[in-house]
A and B are shown apart, each in its own frame.
Chain A
Amino acid sequence: MSESIARLVMRTTANNLPLSRDDRPYQWSTTTYCDTLNWSIFRAAQKGSAMQLRIREYHRTRPQGVMNPGAAWIEFKDDEEDTSLKERFGVSMDVARAFLRGEMALPDPDHGLAERAGRLLKDGARPVVVTQYNRLAYNSLDTAVRITADHNLMYFALPWEARDDNDHPSPLGSLLAMEPDVIVEMKWYGELPHWAIDLHAYLKENTREERPSKFIVAMRWLLGETDGAKKRKK
């Protein structure tokens, strides 16, 4: 949606929900997504069912590279038709790099996602595409409702490479595309409060375009499956 509509939405949200403690305003999120040489994760994601493997970093100013020394989150997201399961592990970037190289396993107590991710890496999954954006996030204290607005969303290619040094970030490849709009997401479970029902209706009315996941959009740009010249619906 447009920035002006998004501002209205987030103002209403701010009147009802506290700012998320995990997301600071105008902080940059950098997410590095993995895929295999035959793009098996992307192909599965397009069919609505995929196990995603990604590395997330947070910075106050936009970094020029990915996998910067410091803290990182390894995230697994398993999307099925009706459900979505996500696990994240806060680790140092050294550990994240070692995990991507297949040198280190992660604890896997409940859902088997880390083990499946390990198999993907064994099958050749490597970092291939990156998103960067500013996120403004609000969620209820019981986390039943979460509303986020992502703007300045950029998609980058990442050259295929093997990194065996942990000290230097990997430089970003070409800028594939920038989103002109703000991506607003509303997630909840259980019953929505009245204000959120109204807000959801307002969101539906004013949405310019419903989007697939950032991963799918980024991969379409990377593989030339999006027509960059296509005009947006106004």
Chain B
Amino acid sequence: MKAVEDAIRSDAPATRVVVVEDDQASADVLQRRLQANGMVVSVAHDGRRGIELVEELLPDLVLLDVMLPDTDGYDVCLRIKSNSSTAPIPVIFLSARGEVVDKVRGLSCGAADYITKPFQAAELLARIDAVLGQARNPRVPRLARSAERAAGERRVARVAIADGALRAHVEQLLATRFDLAEDSDTPDVVLLEGNASLPADAPEDVAVVRVTAGRGSDDRTELIPVDVQLPRIVDLTVREHDLDHDLQSAAEALIVLAAAIASHDRPSTGHTERVAARAVQIGRALGLDESTRMTIRLGALLRDVGHARLPGSLLAKSGELSPDERGMLERHPVLGEEILAGFKRLSGLLPIVRHHHERLDGTGYPDGLRAEQIPLEVRIVTVADRFEALLADRSDRPAVSESEAVRILQGAVARGELDAAVVAALATQVRANGGN
């Protein structure tokens, strides 16, 4: 635990390194050397602890011995590289095994470098710098931009145009409405000439306006002519871009509504949030990107919003439903889709809302879709929903443990109802958390 606490206590932006080395003396020397160079070092003396430390700390770098008491370094490296959370962390092997086959094997496991012992400290540090330099993303993190902006504050524009005369002209036009970005400023909008690429250090989600010295174009890439209208068009582009960011706020309001409805429908509170959190975890385990995970989260939170159009007596009824009642209840995905269809910016969630009761074998509702007709995001929410439902007491059956719930879902996989890979991702999580 001390290694974790030391690393967490350190809030300086130092490079955090996990050293996995079974030889105490070697580990001490390495730790002192790295600490002397401003790095925060955590040490594990076997492979199992090494993997635990890497998963807990998500360090910037792992230095890994090949020969370990409980397993070998190749195995540890493969486990790091097979976990989507830890896969991006660079690994450097440190080993006395210096044959070509050993180096090839280490690098083929996904290591960034392989250093043979004994090594000179200067060489080790140089290689660490090189590996970290390649691994670091120079882009500004997406959440680093301030969400708040004081009223009347001017937007910041960066003119990334190579042609000096055109750049000066554009800057002159924009100066009436925008502050022009200095090197250290984070711009709200970047102006590029034609199809030029966004500069590597530009924020990932910045608004972009492409200009032309000519008369503009109507092909696939919209080019804005450089004339007196340019500041107004750039301003509109930035506002539209901000609206996209506000989608999250609008969705949150809907989620509050959906949660209020769900609290009437279900005896256990927080079910909807647990389904959303579980679905996001599964999405992460399957390596889905942040944007897709956000869609999954919002879709999971809003999936039952159609209940708002069903009679309260039907939702509150316990015991067996009549065929008519069941038919009415099974309309809730379609009703939910109708409610949300008016929100154009929520269109990405609609498949989750409409199809979260579909089954791979075509026996689900409302459309009886089969297998790959059901998007992966939907299949993830379906599994999370069924899993969390099994963990709660219901009038017709008691709650089951997480391990038992996984077994029940694996039965549904065997019958062809659920995606095996999605349930496998869930099972891996439950096992890793020691499933109750």
Contacts and interface: CB of A to CB of B under 8 A. Distances in A.
Contacts of A134: 105, 108
Nearest to A162: B372
A64 B376 contact: no
A39 interface: yes
A129 B82 CA distance: 15
B256 interface: no
A76 interface: no
Contacts of A61: 107-110
A152 B414 contact: no
Interface stretch (B90-98, B266-274, B419-427): B419-427
Nearest to A171: B287
Contacts of B371: 37, 124, 126, 160, 162
A2 B35 CA distance: 38
A154 B105 CA distance: 15
A82 B419 CA distance: 34
Contacts of B75: 152, 178, 180
A126 B372 contact: yes
A161 interface: yes
A1 interface: no
Given A134-B105, A175-B82, A160 B110 contact: no
Given A62-B109, A126-B372, A171 B416 contact: no
B22 to A, nearest CB: 17
A159 B81 contact: no
B410 A223 contact: yes
Given A25-B101, A178-B78, A223 B108 contact: no
Nearest to B74: A152
A160 B360 contact: yes
A94 B137 CA distance: 32
Contacts of A157: 420-421, 424-425
Contacts of B78: 62, 152, 154, 178
A161 B376 contact: yes
A interface SS class: loop
Interface string B65-81: 00000011011001101
Nearest to A160: B419
B81 A62 contact: yes
A28 B425 CA distance: 24
Interface residues of B, number: 43
Contacts of A171: 286-287
A128 B108 contact: no
Contact of B414 (A27, A28, A223, A228): A223
B414 A174 contact: no
Interface in B287-313: 287
A156 B82 CA distance: 9
Given A62-B81, A174-B286, A175-B428, A38 B416 contact: yes
A37 B428 CA distance: 21
Nearest to B409: A224
A174 B285 contact: yes
Interface in A109-165: 124, 126, 128-129, 134, 152, 154, 156-162
B361 interface: yes
A158 B371 CA distance: 13
A174 B424 contact: yes
A132 to B, nearest CB: 9
Interface in B403-436: 406-407, 410, 413-414, 416, 419-425, 427-428, 431
B421 A173 contact: yes
Interface in A159-196: 159-162, 171-176, 178, 180
Contacts of A126: 371-372
A126 B78 CA distance: 26
Contact of B413 (A156, A172, A223): A223
A229 B421 CA distance: 20
B105 A26 contact: yes
Most chain A beta-carbon neighbours within 10 Å: one of B79, B108, B371: B108
Contacts of B130: none
Interface string A63-97: 01000000000000000000000000000000000
Most chain B beta-carbon neighbours within 10 Å: one of A38, A158, A161: A161
B360 A159 contact: no
Contacts of A26: 101, 104-105, 108
B83 interface: yes
Interface in B151-203: none
Contacts of B372: 126, 160-162
Closest CB pairs A-B (n = 7): A162-B372, A224-B410, A157-B421, A173-B421, A157-B424, A37-B416, A159-B421
Given A157-B421, A159-B286, A173-B425, 10 more contacts: A37-B371, A61-B108, A61-B109, A124-B371, A128-B421, A152-B78, A154-B82, A160-B421, A174-B285, A222-B421
